[in-house]
């Protein structure tokens, strides 16, 4: 098994535009506010962490989110540009723990802690293939 301790302390910050596809849409009466959803913000934080890890992983490995804890601090409208930062705060075996933050100027919008597991792409392909072979076809045919 590969060692990943060297990732500890690595960090990345990206400037991200929050577009209309990220709008909170669960409450249709609130759609006119064009507020960004918590899940969309978390998705951006997860993507930045993937961008960071992908610089260091061999081609035959990837990293999947296996645990996530988020605190959405402040509402923010679509069309806003934000800074999204992630930092590796711990590594245990193939699990990489991150702290992430979304900022708009000096205002904190979201903070999160989450874990990505580094796994072989071949392993994921094999698991996915086994699952599809065991799943009956459309309407059980």
Domain ranges, ordered by start, for the chain: 3-131
Report whether 84 contacts 45 (CB < 8 A): yes
Tell me the pTM: 0.89
pLDDT in tens, 90-111: 999 999 999 999 999 999 999 9
* Beta bridge mates, 96: 91, 116
Fold of 3-131: Thiol Ester Dehydrase; Chain A (3.10.129)
pLDDT in tens, 47-77: 999 999 999 999 999 999 999 999 999 999 9
| Residue carrying the six token digits 């601090």 | 73
Report whether 57 contacts 96 (CB < 8 A): no
* Beta bridge mates, 17: 81
The confidence score (pLDDT) of residue 2 equals 78
The confidence score (pLDDT) of residue 101 equals 98
Query: In the predicted model, is pLDDT for residue 138 greater than 60?
Result: no
Q: Is the dihedral of CA 70, 42, 81, 9 positive or negative?
A: positive
Mean pLDDT of all residues belonging to the chain: 93
């Amino acid at each position: 098994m590969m060692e990943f301790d060297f990732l500890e302390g690595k960090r990345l910050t990206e400037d991200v535009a929050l577009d209309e596809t990220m709008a909170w849409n669960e409450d249709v009466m609130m759609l006119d506010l064009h507020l960004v959803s918590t899940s969309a913000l978390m998705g951006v934080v997860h993507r930045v962490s993937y961008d960071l890890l992908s610089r260091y992983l061999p081609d035959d490995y990837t990293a999947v989110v296996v645990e996530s804890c988020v605190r959405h601090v402040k509402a923010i409208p679509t069309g806003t540009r934000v800074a999204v930062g992630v930092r590796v705060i711990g590594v245990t075996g193939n699990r990489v723990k991150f702290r992430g933050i979304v900022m708009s100027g000096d205002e904190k919008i979201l903070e999160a802690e989450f874990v990505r597991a580094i796994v072989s792409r071949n392993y994921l392909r094999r698991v996915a293939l086994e699952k599809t072979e065991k799943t009956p076809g459309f309407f059980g045919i």
